[in-house]
Amino acid sequence: MLPKDDTLKKNAVSATGSGSRDVMSQTPSDDLCQAKGPARNLFRFVAVAIAAQRNSQGWRLPWRRESAAVAADGCERLHRPDPHTVTMTQRLALQVFEQYQKARTHFVQTIAELATRPQNIETLQNAGVMSLLRPLLLDVVPSIQQTAALALGRLANYNDDLAEAVVKGDILPQLVYSLAEQNRFYKKAAAFVLRAVAKHSPQLAQAVVDCGALDALVICLEEFDPGVKEAAAWALGYVARHNAELSQAVVDAGAVPLLVLCIQEPEVPLKRIAASALSDIAKQSPELAQTVVDAGSIAHLAQMILNPDAKLKRQVFSALGQISKHSVDLAEMVVEAEIFPSVLTCLKDPDEYVKKNVATLIREIAKHTPELSQLIVNTGGVAAVIDYIGDSKSNVRLPGIMMLGYVAAHSENLAMAVIVSKGVAQLAICLSEEPEDHIKAASAWALGQIGRHTPEHARAVAVANVLPKLLSLYMQTGSSEDLQVKAKKALKNILQKCTYLPALDPLLHEAPPNVLKHVVGQYSKVLPHDTKARRLFVTSGGLKKIQEIKADPGSVLQEYINGINSCYPEEIVRYYSPGYSDALLERVENYQPAL
Amino acid sequence: MMQTTSPVSIATHYNNKRKMATLAKLQGHLVGLEQEYFGRNWIAEENRMREHCAAVKIQSCFRGFKVRAHIRYLQKMAIIIQKTWRAFQTRMYYRFMVQRAYFIMKMNFYNEMAVRIQKRWRGHYVRKSIHNYYEMKNYFRGLSMKNQIVRKELEEYEQTKKKEREKKAIEKEERRKRYQARKMHYLLSTEQIRGIYNSPYRQYPSETEYRLKHSSPLSRTILHKKDFTEGLVDPSIPGVPCVFPPLLPPIHRKKPQGPFRDTVEVWQQRYKPLEPSVRVATSITSEEEARQEMKREEWRNRIHDIKFLPFSHPTIFKTYEPLLHTSTKYGPIAYGTKHFRATEDTPTVNKPFQSVFTSIYLFEKFQKTYSKAGEVF
């Protein structure tokens, strides 16, 4: 049972009074030793009781040297009275303040930790946490400010309703103002909140821009601390991500040269974020990409290609790809930075997204002119890309397939280069084994681009047994419309140049009329000149099939059929015409043998 | 009859007589004259018509002959003229046609030759530049070789990187196991109690047992506190989130007898961070430093260091800056003030200037020999 309060206080006073001036010499343990017998036990008991009470309130133990002024005030030096002369009531009053401060700190720290888990956030939102956190942003104690900003940031990060609540609560102007004033921890926390708000939608990002955050963030980019720069660059990147106007606003605030400086810093996370921000800016429009290039970013991005960090490489290649996609000049500038052939080594990176972004970059470069494609081919890029297609699966392959299509589309020499590098076999594999329609459509398109130039190309494509596959894709009802259209176009393009008859045979038997027209057309072009082919045509049953085709007289198909029929003697043609056996049998029936 | 006898009248008289005679003769002829006259007139009239027609016919015939002959003559002449003119024209035209035909023949020939040249040239040009089959073949051969090389190099690169990664993974695994062993060093089996990694049902202890044996215990100071604030809260300020190590729930053992403190208490004591008082936390020179800091800040923010003096003759109060010459302890050197040339130090031989040519003798005599009145010498 605890003694009464006044005894406690008395003892407390005596304890602290004795221990106030000189800790070392007069610790209560001395008192304990001096006290004797039951008084000793009583004293000890009381001391423990006090300790227990104070511990339950989180206070320090009495014989620790403390002054009321220290507490958790941090660096603030309030004009607290000298601890030696403080009276009891003053002390109580100060205790109240300390309690309040501890309570605030505890509250804000717990909220910050709870906000890391998504399931708590709903509860917090319903309890009205935003309105409670807002005044804590203006707290006198810096750590509470910073923790409150951290908590707000985590809440806003979670979903856009909370982010809107942040915007509506007029918190952003305060944050922006203090971005300019406070120390680096607060700057990091404030930049975190801004980024969490801006990431959800263009309207929220616009709200962030409207309170003048961009200038403050750009000033933060000039700080020494890399953490602050990273937070500011991240926020700018998220703002610029949404659309071109926001990117233009970011560029107008003068962020791009500073971001380029950030890329040159030694810290890897900072480089990553800066590269990602530049990528987001450059992807919006050609003028913005030109601005990014004018700041001298290509040279620095090119230097980081062989950095061992995978996430950094992702961002670097994404940035270079976004720059080069807009125009020929930009693509040429990227190529002039001498990224080939070292970029091809990154096609073997274990990280999938690095490979995908490299392939995207190569595709964007190859897309523009035949000269750029020729350059890529000469450095062995096509072989590297074909190997990459073989190594990867589904969506990661797509840029590589498209790159082959673009290269082959420019000229027949380049298409032949793709064939020579064994691209057709790989594309045929993609066509057959990929489950998703858009990748199949891309493969079909690429094969069409390869095969459409000359009979040699068409032969190379046909030999890989691609035509029946294309036909089946065209005919399937399950294929998407895009796939059907692309398969048909590819088939038509290849057929118009294909003189390799063994590949056309299966098509003859299965094709629908609009495709059959082209097939028969090709036969009619080849058969008049090749006797062996004619023979093969007859023996394989092609002539029979031709006779069975019903075509409108005067149509192109009929002309082709006539052309083919004219290659053969009439008896053969009649022999194979449908119903000939019936006609013969009829003749047999009608024949009267001469007796 | 006449009564005058002039010659003229005589003549006329005779004339008149003659005339009367004739007249009487004539009147005698007169009766049948009329008829004869009419008869002769009528015959003459008939003859006259006939003769008239005949004469007309003859005349017209003759005139016709004359005119036709003339026309024939004219025609012959005209033919001759036309003949010669036509011949002339035709020869000219013929020359012209010949020229034209020759020209056309020449041009055809040239065209044919040009066609031959162009044929050859076009074939050559297409074969060499536009679609050079052999070069393309070479190129594709070279391209496949290059592709092979690139593929091989990429393969090698991939292999080396893979090896590096595997090596790193193995090292990381090793480090992790060592760390685990150090953390769990107390699980080492003793003589009395076999540890969990030294199962009696096994032939020999597992690998972890060996690790435990060779590891040293982990000291507490290495424990890192996880920063839950992602670096956004300043940890240097005291009273800031001090994260206690996660406390396990208390084991409900019998409270040990004796004056032992509550475990919770002990832990709180043990892990409490230093919270120095303001007096302790401030450095002894903080006031001085604060002053210096203030001074520095002011100096930083000042645009220039010239003090503002609120009086108008600042030059009076400007400190005197003595000359370098006078203020140096080394004193001024004699050169430049006392002498400019080295001739003072070096013993000067009183050599006169060397003349290149002999002086003018006469001038030497100047003021020496001229006149007594000068009184120079």
Residue-level pLDDT, tens digit, chain B, 377 residues: 555 567 778 888 888 888 889 888 888 877 778 888 889 889 988 898 999 999 999 999 999 999 999 999 999 999 999 999 999 999 999 999 999 999 999 999 999 999 999 999 999 999 988 888 899 999 999 999 999 999 999 999 999 999 999 999 999 999 999 999 998 888 888 888 888 888 888 888 888 889 998 888 887 765 667 777 777 777 766 555 555 555 566 677 677 777 888 888 888 888 888 888 888 888 889 899 999 999 999 998 888 887 877 777 766 667 777 787 777 788 777 777 777 766 555 566 677 776 677 667 777 776 666 555 655 54
What's the pLDDT score for residue B198? 86
pLDDT of A369 higher than 70 = yes
Choose the weakest-confidence range: A15-29, A51-65, A425-439, B361-375. A15-29
Say which residues have a Cβ less than 8 Å from residue A422's Cβ, sequence separation at least 6: A383, A386
Cβ B276–A70 below 8 Å, yes or no?
Answer: yes
Query: Is the model's pLDDT at A35 over the cut of 50?
Result: no
Q: For position A76, what pLDDT does the model report?
A: 44
Phi, psi of A296 (to 5 degrees): 80, 30
Residue in chain B closest to A380 (alpha carbons) equals B147
Q: How confident is the model at residue A12 (pLDDT cuts 50, 70, 90)?
A: very low
CB contact under 8 A, B277 and A143: no
B window 220-239, beta carbon within 8 A of A: 228-234, 237-239
CB contact under 8 A, A378 and B146: yes
Residue of B nearest to A149 (CA): B232
CB < 8 Å to A109, chain B: 241
Amino acid making up residue A549: I
Q: Among A340, A422, A346, which residue's Cα sits nearest to residue A373?
A: A340
Residue contact A416–B140, C-beta within 8 A:
yes
Of A113, A116, A142, which is closest to B237 when you measure between CB atoms?
A142
**Which residues in chain B have their CB less than 8 angstroms from residue A51's CB?**
265
Q: Is B133 near chain A, with CB under 8 Å?
A: no
Collect all residues of chain B within an 8 Å Cβ-Cβ radius of residue A421: 143-144, 147
Band (pLDDT 50/70/90 cuts) for residue A61 is: very low
- Spatial separation of the C-alpha atoms in residues B236 and A83, rounded to whole Å: 24
First to last CA, chain A: 145
Q: Residue A573: its pLDDT value, please?
A: 87
The stretch A108-126 carries a mean pLDDT of 88
Q: Evaluate if residue A19 carries a pLDDT over 90.
A: no
Q: Which chain A residues are within 8 Å of B131, Cβ to Cβ?
A: none
Chain B partners of A75 at a C-beta cutoff of 8 Å?
237
The burial class, CB within 10 Å (0-12 / 13-18 / 19+), for A214 is buried
Q: Which DSSP state fits A143?
A: H
Chain B: nearest CA to A391, how far in angstroms?
A: 12
User: Do residue B147 and residue A75 have CB atoms under 8 angstroms apart?
Assistant: no
pTM above 0.90, yes or no: no
Torsion sign over Cα A341, A346, A352, A353: negative
The pLDDT of residue A72 is 42
* Chain A residues whose beta carbon lies within 8 Å of the beta carbon of residue B136: 413, 416
Any chain A CB within 8 A of the CB of B51?
A: no
| Chain A residue at shortest CA distance from B152 | A384
Does the beta-carbon distance from B144 to A421 stay under 8 Å? yes
Q: Mark yes or no for CB contact A192/B232 under 8 Å.
A: yes
Of A278-292, A372-386, A547-561, B51-65, the range with the lowest mean pLDDT is: A547-561
Asked whether A61 and A54 are in contact (CB, 8 A), the reply is yes
Q: B323 by DSSP, 3-state: which?
A: coil
Q: Check if B151 contacts A (Cβ < 8 Å).
A: yes
Residue B2 confidence (pLDDT): 54
Q: Which of B140, B233, B239 sits opposite A420 (nearest CB)?
A: B140
pLDDT bucket at A581, cuts 50 / 70 / 90: confident
**Mean pLDDT score, A383-409:** 94
pLDDT at A190: 92
CB-nearest partner of B232 from A73, A150, A347: A150
pLDDT above 70 for A290: yes
Q: Does B247 touch chain A (CB under 8 A)?
A: no
pLDDT given for residue B341 in this prediction: 63
Question: With b meaning 16 or more CB within 10 Å and e meaning fewer, what string describes A40-68?
Answer: eeebbebbbebbeeebeeebbbbbebbbb
Highest mean pLDDT of the ranges A76-80, A188-192, B10-14, B195-199: A188-192
Contact flag B140-A341 (C-beta cutoff 8 Å):
no
Give chain B positions within 8 Å (CB) of A387: 151, 154
**B241/A421 touch (CB, cutoff 8 Å), yes or no:** no
Contacts of A57 in chain B (CB under 8 A): none
Q: What is the pLDDT of residue A18?
A: 43
Predicted confidence band of residue A238 (pLDDT cuts 50, 70, 90): very high
Residue bearing tokens 């760390």: B179
Q: What is the pLDDT of residue A23?
A: 40
User: pLDDT > 70: what percent of chain A?
Assistant: 85
A14 to A24, A28, A39, A249, A405: CA distances (angstroms) = 16, 10, 14, 67, 90
B interface test, pick of A143, A150, A354 with most B CB neighbours within 10 Å: A143
Residue B231, judged by CB atoms within 10 A of its CB (0-12, 13-18, 19+), counts as: middle
Which residue in the set B150, B157, B234 is minimally distant from A142, CB to CB?
Answer: B234
Banded pLDDT at A42 (limits 50, 70, 90): low
Least CB–CB distance from A75: residue in B229, B237, B259: B237
Residue with tokens 């227990």: A52
The pLDDT value recorded for residue B359 is 66
Chain-chain contact of B234 with A146 (C-beta, under 8 angstroms): yes
pLDDT at B308: 79
**A–B: how many Cβ contacts below 8 A?**
125
Q: Which residue has the tokens 């299509």?
A: A405
Cβ of B144 within 8 Å of Cβ of A188? The answer is: no
Q: Which residue of B has its CA nearest to A342?
A: B154
Q: In Å, what is the CA distance from A130 to each residue of A145, A169, A305, B228, B296?
A: 14, 8, 44, 21, 42
Average pLDDT in the A547-560 region? 86
Find the closest chain A residue to B160 by CA distance.
A348
B265 touches chain A (CB under 8 A): yes
Q: Do A65 and B277 touch (CB under 8 A)?
A: yes
Residue B237 to residue A143, Cβ atoms within 8 A: yes
Arithmetic mean of pLDDT, A498-519:
88
Q: Is B179 on the interface with A (CB under 8 A)?
A: no
Q: Look up residue A24 and give its two tokens.
A: 């070392």
Residue B240, chain A, CB below 8 Å: the answer is: yes
Alpha helices in A264-351 (DSSP H): 268-282, 286-294, 297-303, 310-324, 328-336, 342-345
Contact A347 B229 (CB under 8 A): no
- Mean pLDDT over A141-149 rounds to 89
Runs of H (alpha helix) within chain B: 7-125, 133-183, 207-214, 263-271, 278-281, 286-301, 314-317, 324-327, 361-364
